[in-house]
Structure 1
Amino acid sequence: MSTPYSTALAAIDAAHALDPTKVTTAGAETPYELHYARKCTSYLEKLSSTASEPLRLAIRAQHFRRWEIPRSLYPMTRPGYHAWRTFLKKRQATLVAEICVYAGYTTENAERVASLIRKEDLKTDEETQVLEDVACLVFLDDQFEQFEKEHDEEKILGILRKTWGKMSEKGHALALEIHMSKRAQELVQRALAE
Structure 2
Amino acid sequence: MSSPYDKALAEIDAAHALDPKKTSIDGKDVPYELHYAQKMTEYLKSRAPEASEPLRLAIRAQHFRRWEVPRSSYPMTRIGYHAWRTFLKKRQAERVEKICRECGYPAEVSERVAALIRKEDLKEDEETQALEDVACLVFLDDQFEQFEKEHDEDKIIKILQKTWGKMTEQGHELALKIPMSGRPQELVQKALAG
Q: Which runs of 5+ in 1 are unaligned?
A: none
Structure 1 range deviating more: 115-124 or 176-185? 176-185
How big is each residue's C-alpha offset from its partner over 1:48-76, in whole Å with a ceiling of 9 and x where there is no partner?
A: 11100000000000100000000001000
Q: CA deviation at 1:152?
A: 0.4
1:76 counterpart SS class:
coil
What is the distance in 1 between the residues matched to 2:50 and 2:98?
A: 25
Task: Give per-residue Cα distances to partners, 1:91-123, cap 9 Å, x unaligned.
Answer: 000000000000000011000000000000001
| 1:30 corresponds to | 30
Distance 2:27 2:47 in 1: 28
Q: Which residue of 2 aligns with 1:8?
A: 8
Q: How does 1:82-121 map to 2 (within 5 A)?
A: 82-121=82-121
CA distance in 2, matches of 1:138, 1:66: 16
Matched with 2:191 is: 191
Tell me, in whole angstroms, the C-alpha distance in 2 between the residues paired with 1:173 and 1:6: 31
Please give the TM-score of this superposition, normalised by the length of structure 2: 0.99
- Aligned-pair identity in percent equals 74
In the TM superposition, what is the alpha-carbon distance from 1:41 to its structure 2 partner?
A: 0.1
- Matched positions, count: 194
CA distance in 2, matches of 1:28, 1:53: 30
Partner of 1:128: 128
Aligned partners of 2:150 and 2:98: how far apart in 1? 36
Residue 142 of structure 1 corresponds to which residue in structure 2? 142
CA distance in 2, matches of 1:20, 1:181: 30
More deviation, 92-101/24-33: 24-33
Give TM-score scaled by structure 1 length: 0.99
| 1:154 has 2:161 as partner | no
SS in 2 for 1:23: strand
SS at match of 2:51: coil
State the 1:181 CA deviation: 2.5
Residue 79 of structure 2: aligned partner = 79
What SS is found at the alignment partner of 1:30? strand
SS at match of 2:30: strand
* Structure 2 SS opposite 1:38: helix
What's the C-alpha RMSD, in Å, of the aligned pairs? 0.5
Write the deviation string for residues 104-150 of structure 1: whole angstroms up to 9, x where unpaired. 00011000000000000001000000000000000000000100000
Q: Deviations over 1:29-64 (max 9, x none)?
A: 100000000000000000111100000000000100
What 5-or-longer segments of structure 2 have no aligned partner?
Answer: none
Query: What letter is aligned with 1:166?
Result: K
Deviating 4+ runs (over 4 angstroms): none
Query: What residue is the counterpart of 1:176 in the other structure?
Result: 176
C-alpha separation between the residues in 2 aligned to 1:80 and 1:59?
Answer: 24
Give the AA of the match of 1:179.
Answer: P
